[in-house]
A and B are shown apart, each in its own frame.
Chain A
Amino acid sequence: MNIFNMRSLRHQTDEQLMAKAAADNDSAFEELYRRYARRLKGFFYRQLGGDENLADDATHDVFLRAYEARYRYKEGGNVATWLFTIAYNLCRNHYRRNAYEAHMLASLDAEPIMEHQIDVELDAEMLDQALEQVLSELPDPLHQIFSLHYQEELTIPQIAVIFGIPEGTVKSRLNKIMNIIRKKLKKYENH
């Protein structure tokens, strides 16, 4: 690949790259892969129980689907949202717990938002270990929302698009998820 071409691609936005990829510019798609492959693999690694091979396959699958669907990309559409939507759907297909997820999320949405936070006292080292454990124990849909917002740093509107739910529901779920995490962390206080 031409090094000058690669350098010029690095200064372009995701959306500009995707538009070029849709016009059969494979270098532009390769640059998108360079930007997102690690993030997506990390997301899958955390979501699919720390299986690196599975995370590899899922990442490749996301980009394969994106590559095949590049002509359908609507100019101006958010590329990160699009890629993480594919990733989220792959996770759902992997677990095949849609009925369970729907029931659990419905009951979560029905719960009232707590006015106060649960107080947790832990030292920094303990928090690191405990949080890793707590996140791995979180039900998949809750883990996904937490991971997409706090780890992948996607915005609330982006997550709303990925999950196909209103922004208000995303906000309330994030609030409840944080309380569930705090509640679980509380168990580690006296260790």
Chain B
Amino acid sequence: MKITNEQIIKVARRQRDTINNNINVAPWQRPKRHRSGLAAVIAVAACLVGFIIGYCLNNNGKQPEPQSVAHNSQVIHDTITQTETIHDTIYDTRIVTKYVTPLMAKSASKSTTQSSTHESQEEQAPCAMSCDDIPYDLLAMP
């Protein structure tokens, strides 16, 4: 018999149906959503929170900054007294007292230091005069 296009199409569709009816189709399985992105975001957030907590704790544990020395120095600072025994001659011995302003005061406040230095010089001056300006002859006298 003569073959028409319709017959070819009919046979092709029958073959399609035969194949389609004999194959098994697995049920649809929804792909699992990727959670790696979410995990990364959580990890970054956790790191950030950890850093902030650590920073706060560290800040609280720190010792308070020492207060300005200059401020303290204006309140109380004693002059250091140094006593020195000097042998001018074999027979004569004298004791020299020196007043030294502490170094802290000097570095803390310029004005305070200057005044302290000035005072110590003033205080030392009479001593220096009394000891250094004594004529040697007088000292040498028995």
Contact = CB atoms under 8 A, between A and B. Distances in A.
A and B are interacting partners: yes
Chain B interface size, as a band, is 20 to 34
A123 interface: yes
Interface stretch (A31-39, A102-110, A164-172): A31-39
Interface in B1-36: 1-3, 5, 7-9, 11-16, 19-20, 23, 25-26, 28, 30-31
B16 A42 contact: yes
Interface string B93-117: 0000000000000000000000000
A29 B23 contact: no
B2 A119 contact: yes
A122 B23 contact: no
Main secondary structure of the interface of B (DSSP, over half): helix
B12 A151 contact: yes
A83 interface: no
A119 B25 CA distance: 39
Interface of B: 1-3, 5, 7-9, 11-16, 19-20, 23, 25-26, 28, 30-31
Interface of A: 26, 29-30, 33-34, 37-39, 41-42, 45-46, 52, 55-56, 59-60, 63-64, 67-68, 117, 119-124, 127-128, 131-132, 135, 146, 150-152, 178, 181-182, 185
Please give me the 9 A-B residue pairs with the lowest Cβ-Cβ distance, nearest first: A33-B28, A42-B20, A120-B3, A151-B16, A37-B25, A150-B9, A42-B19, A131-B11, A30-B28
